[in-house]
Amino acid sequence: MEAETVPRVAVQAGGDDDAERPSALWEQSVDDGERRLDRTAAAESSTGLIGGVDVILGIVAAATLAGALSPAVGSQLAAVIGAAAFGVGFVFVTIGRSELFTENFLIPVSAVYSGRRPLQDLARTWTVTLLANLVGLVALGAIFAKAGVLEHGALLAVGHTADTLADRGGWDAFLSAIAAGIVMTLWTWLTLASRTDIGRIAIAFAIGFLLTAPVLNHVIVGSGEMLVALFAGTTHAGWGDLAANFAVALAGNLIGGVGFVTITRAAQASGH
């Protein structure tokens, strides 16, 4: 979350209230979007790679807690409780300033929407970040899926989540992906508005729980969960299920993030 987590909204002459108005936040996002789209592919790749690693660490935290609780409370309740730990990964993204593909649905888009950067710059950023996220997921996911690295109960917990993603019907998976795109882009907006690191950390935990407790269909998080389970052999899903879910999640996340949040925030800002 390289560009989203570090911006501080400058205090205008009118005081803090002016700085926190939607129009001020939007202008800040446009400025940050220009800087983000000016980065080199190497810089985008490195932050994207670490972002994928951070997501796997969040998945491991959630699965470890869920796996430990499952014998006592059952797999379903354990998964919901374990979701509270997933936010660790988003804290790493926020404070460590790494980046997820879906974080680019507001700030870089705002720069293109405002006419200050061309669409091809956004396409390059999306492509590089998405590919780098996937490399990070595969590299660290393969390590944690190896027998003996995690407790078997944690791998079973990841498998339970992967089964949930794979068993959804196409329309249900698409709607879940739209919701995930909305949640993730809301994270960007709230982080932009937050003035302290403590506030950003709290937001990261809240968004992490909201995304993973109902197993919303997020293209990076969901792919990471399915990859670990597939590598470990703890899911009945196959690689075809992963590919199909990836495509549905990608489309739904884009619609939810750009269509439902970014465009409405632009309209909100223009009215203030």
Q: List, for residues 92-111, the tens digit of each pLDDT value.
A: 999 998 999 988 888 899 98
Of the candidates 101, 87, 131, the residue with the CA atom closest to the CA atom of residue 36: 101
Is-contact 215 165, C-beta < 8 A? yes
Report pTM: 0.90
Residue 81: predicted pLDDT = 98
Distance separating alpha carbons of residues 213 and 92, to the nearest angstrom: 19
Q: Which domains does the chain have, with CATH numbers?
A: 2-270 (1.20.1080.10)
Render pLDDT for 214-236 as a digit per residue (tens, 0 to 9).
999 999 999 999 999 999 999 99
Q: What's the rounded mean pLDDT across residues 239-263?
A: 94
DSSP lists the bridge partners of residue 15 as: 12
- Please list, in sequence order, all residues whose beta carbon lies within 8 angstroms of the beta carbon of residue 23, skipping any fewer than 6 positions away: 269, 270, 272
DSSP codes of every residue in 140-195? HHHHHHSBTTB-HHHHHHHHHHHHHHHHS-HHHHHHHHHHHHHHHHHHHHHHHH--
pLDDT at residue 261 tops 90? no
CB 47 within 8 A of CB 97: yes
